[in-house]
């Protein structure tokens, strides 16, 4: 339950943390696009080693960065090597045999390339979320004319999980006060049903009150609201973002042209 609540919020104070969230978002997108644009396994590896890893070291989040990659990337890469190494369609060049299974070089090459692409994709966005508080990203987006409804939906969803887990504790306590005893694994499973029901239904029935509160406070007014938090930004970052976007657009254009040809 506490996954969203305990999401790795940015707490450090390095130069990467102080960058505008938009710069980091643009960086994550650009680096992903560039990684996928070139069919050579050394290219995404270079991007990871020359850009993402130094950035993570510079932000002093390298331990958590590698830990998250180990949790989420390593399983995907392992499955990828098994599936494509043995079952890559129309591969002929056998390098090794394990019983009836044949490891083929085309499959391994493909798995290596794809795994490194995914590594850059995940690395770029892990860097963003390790060094950026979601609320700051939302503030930065709201300064850029993104719809306030969208900002509200994302911010509220991030905040509801702690509220829900508080309510879950309260429901459990209320049921125990009425004599519910929880013993062992089966007891826990059985206690889940009377917990989930009131929890989810209660969360939904709160919606009406919250909507009324929002409307009385001017939500949905057509005038453009001002922002309480101003996110620092600079001319250098602005031009860096434009350069990165041009890079990404160029990579996509060359690619689309290459595929269509």
Binding to other proteins (CB under 8 A) within 72-111 occurs at: 72, 76-77, 79-80, 82-84, 86-90, 110-111
Alpha helices in 132-183 (DSSP H): 134-143, 148-177
Binders in 172-191 for other proteins, by CB under 8 A: none
Q: How far is the CB of 33 from other proteins (least distance, A)?
A: 7
CB within 8 Å of 117: residues ≥ 6 apart: 35, 36, 44
**Burial of 175: CB neighbours in 10 Å, binned 0-12, 13-18, 19+:** middle
Is 158 one of the binding residues for other proteins (CB under 8 A)? yes
Is 228 one of the binding residues for other proteins (CB under 8 A)? no
Smallest CA-to-CA distance from 228 within 158, 154, 136 is with 136
Is 53 one of the binding residues for other proteins (CB under 8 A)? no
**Of 71 and 177, CB closest to other proteins:** 71
Where does 154-252 show beta strands of DSSP type E?
none
Q: How far is the CB of 73 from other proteins (least distance, A)?
A: 9
**Of 15 and 72, CB closest to other proteins:** 72
**Of 95 and 212, CB closest to other proteins:** 212
Size of the site for other proteins (CB under 8 A): 79
Distance CA 44, CA 37 (A): 9
Q: How far is the CB of 227 from other proteins (least distance, A)?
A: 14
Residue 116 per-residue DSSP state:
H
Binders in 1-40 for other proteins, by CB under 8 A: 1, 3-4, 7, 32-33, 36-39
CA torsion 196-199-201-207 (nearest 10°) is -150
Distance CA 141, CA 17 (A): 17
Tell which one of 55, 121, 140, 141 touches other proteins (CB under 8 A).
121
Burial 95-113 (b: 16+ CB within 10 A, else e): eeeeeeebbbebbbbbbbb
3-state helix, strand, coil in the chain (%, to 5): 75, 5, 25
Tell which one of 200, 229, 243, 246 touches other proteins (CB under 8 A).
200
Site string for other proteins, 203-222 (x = CB under 8 A): xxxxxx-xx--xx---xx-x
**Of 93 and 239, CB closest to other proteins:** 93
**Of 232 and 258, CB closest to other proteins:** 258
């Amino acid at each position: 339950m506490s996954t969203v609540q305990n999401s790795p919020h940015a707490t450090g104070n390095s130069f990467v943390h102080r960058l505008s969230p938009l710069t980091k978002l643009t960086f994550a997108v650009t680096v992903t696009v560039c990684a996928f644009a070139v069919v050579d396994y050394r290219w995404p590896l270079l991007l990871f080693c020359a850009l993402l890893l130094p950035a993570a070291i510079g932000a002093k989040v390298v331990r958590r960065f590698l830990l998250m990659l180990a949790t989420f990337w390593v399983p995907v890469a392992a499955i990828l090597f098994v599936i494509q190494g043995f079952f890559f369609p129309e591969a002929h060049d056998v390098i090794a045999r394990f019983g009836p299974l044949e490891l083929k070089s085309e499959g391994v090459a493909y798995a290596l390339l794809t795994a490194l692409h995914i590594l850059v994709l995940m690395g770029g966005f892990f860097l963003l979320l390790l060094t950026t508080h979601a609320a700051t990203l939302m503030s930065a987006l709201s300064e850029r004319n993104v719809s306030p409804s969208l900002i509200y939906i994302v911010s509220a969803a991030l905040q509801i999980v702690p509220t829900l887990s508080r309510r879950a504790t309260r429901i459990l306590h209320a049921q125990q006060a009425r004599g519910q005893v929880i013993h062992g694994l089966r007891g826990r499973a059985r206690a889940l049903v009377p917990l989930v029901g009131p929890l989810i239904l209660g969360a939904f029935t709160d919606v009406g009150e919250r909507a009324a509160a929002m409307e009385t406070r001017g939500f949905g007014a057509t005038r453009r609201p001002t922002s309480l938090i101003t996110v620092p930004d600079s001319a250098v970052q602005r031009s860096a973002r434009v350069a990165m976007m041009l890079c990404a657009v160029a990579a996509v254009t060359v690619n689309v042209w290459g595929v269509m040809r």
